[in-house]
Amino acid sequence: MSEQRRPGRYPVGLRDRAVRMVFEAERHASSQWEAICSVAEKLGPTAETVRKWVRRVEIDEGQRPGLTTDERQRLKDLERENRELRRANEILKTASAFFAAELGGPRR
């Protein structure tokens, strides 16, 4: 069973374009934040949203430390699997205790 993500508010094409524009505008701006604000004003999303997109790309490309998108997804999948296994283990423990009691307890 695959989990479907809620689609983002902005299309992927807009995100890619905004990040490209920030990297290009950064050459002419005095700071990256100034470039981010400029691009955000032109395209519509908030500056914070554009900043997050830029940070995600920088991490994915290895320019900044942090978990890449693939690593974050893998971690999320492993955490989900861990929760499911813990739940299954609890169910098995409960069932084992139930059947042990039905059979008259442990034999010695």
- pLDDT for residue 108 is more than 90: no
What radius of gyration do the chain's Cα atoms show? 24
SS (H, E, C) 50-93: HHHHHHHHHHHCCCCCCCCHHHHHHHHHHHHHHHHHHHHHHHHH
pLDDT in tens, 39-83: 999 999 999 999 999 999 999 999 999 999 999 999 999 999 999
- CA–CA distance, 44 with 64 (Å, rounded to integer): 26
- For the chain, the residue count is 108
Q: Which residues contact 56 (CB under 8 A, 6 or more apart)?
A: 69
Report yes or no on whether pTM surpasses 0.75: no
- What pLDDT band is residue 102 in, cutting at 50, 70 and 90? confident
